[in-house]
Amino acid sequence: MVDRLTDEYEGVVEIRAMNVENDAEAARLAADFRVQYVPTFVFVGADGATVETLVGAVDEEDLRDALDAIK
Amino acid sequence: MNRTKWIILALGTVLIAGVLIMLGSPGDDGGGLVDNARMRELLEDGVHLVDVRTAAEFEAGHIPGAELVPLNVFEAAAANWDPSEPIALYCATGSRSAEAAALLRGLGFETVYDLGAGIVQWDGEIVGGTAVAAAPTPVATGGPVMYEFYTDW
């Protein structure tokens, strides 16, 4: 699902998959965003402000709504 | 006639008592999926509580009293536990704890409880962490970004 959205939103919203278990940068960023659970999806606008955070099993429609809100 | 009434009354009372006992202690026979209310009861009873998420998730916030045993070391740790001792598991959303619960049952553990909805839906106390949306930190980016934080587990 995320792969499909990555292709669809290419050039509009950058989608970064961050493995918090084996990637130090991902773990640091997760701490910055106060990520407490995985999976967590954080949507950051062009101004750097966090617009939305979705936690747990989310459906594609919710992801699309959040992506559309920051594009 | 009077005797028949008493017998029916006695049978009815036994039946109702049986139903109440079953409703009052769900999961006593081998554990199973539990909700927040039942988990609180188990915690009050001092159940051995295990968090099967990663160390980073645990440090960000966990249920008080939980022992951190990530899935990748779970089976080795379980070898040191008493299979007759009730154990309660949780993770973020219930998938990893379900995997761990199945593993324990396969090892012969008699009473394994699993917080079905995970800590995401936990409405009790959490220690060691800050709520997800408490204070999002602005991050400088070149454009809009969606971050997906995940683990392989």
Question: pLDDT digits over B105-136, tens only?
Answer: 999 999 999 999 898 889 998 887 544 433 34
Structure tokens at B15: 């039946």
Beta-bridged to residue B51, according to DSSP, are B68, B90
Q: What is the pLDDT of residues B59-84, one digit of tens each?
A: 878 999 999 998 888 998 999 899 99
Q: Give A-chain residues touching B129 at CB under 8 angstroms.
A: 36
What is the structure's pLDDT at B23? 46
Beta carbons within 10 angstroms of residue B46's beta carbon: 9
What is the structure's pLDDT at B15? 58
Q: What is the pLDDT of residues B27-71, one digit of tens each?
A: 455 799 999 999 999 999 999 999 998 887 888 789 999 999 988
Q: Report d(CA B19, CA B16) in Å as an integer.
A: 5
Q: Report d(CA A46, CA B50) in Å as an integer.
A: 40
B147 → closest Cβ in A12, A42, A47: A42
Cis peptide before A39 (omega within 30 of 0): yes
What is the structure's pLDDT at B135? 38
Nearest CA in chain A to B93: A56
Q: What is the CATH number of domain B31-121?
A: 3.40.250.10
Residue A9, CA atoms < 13 Å, CB-side half-sphere:
24
Q: Strand, coil or helix: what is A51?
A: strand
* Nearest in space to A57 (alpha carbons), one of B96, B71, B102, B103: B96
What is the structure's pLDDT at A23? 80
Is residue B17 predicted with pLDDT exceeding 70?
A: no
Please give the torsion angle defined by the CA atoms of residues A38, A2, A53 and B66, in that order, rounded to the nearest 10 degrees. Answer: -10
Q: Where are the domains of chain B?
A: 31-121
Q: Give A-chain residues touching B151 at CB under 8 angstroms.
A: 19-21, 38
Q: Give B-chain residues touching A9 at CB under 8 angstroms.
A: 146
What is the structure's pLDDT at B14? 59
Interface contact flag, B149 A30, Cβ < 8 Å: yes
Q: Residues B143, A11: contact at Cβ < 8 Å?
A: no
Is residue B22 predicted with pLDDT exceeding 60?
A: no
Structure tokens at B8: 């029916």
ipTM above 0.85, yes or no: yes
C-alpha A36: how far from its chain's center?
Answer: 14
pLDDT in tens, chain A (71 residues): 888 999 999 999 999 999 887 787 888 788 778 787 888 999 999 888 889 899 888 899 999 999 999 99
**A2-70 topology per CATH:** Glutaredoxin (3.40.30)
Residue B109 phi/psi, 5° resolution?
-65, 135
Nearest CA in chain A to B142: A46
Is residue B5 predicted with pLDDT exceeding 80?
A: no
State the sign of the Cα–Cα–Cα–Cα dihedral B3, B5, B8, B10. Answer: negative
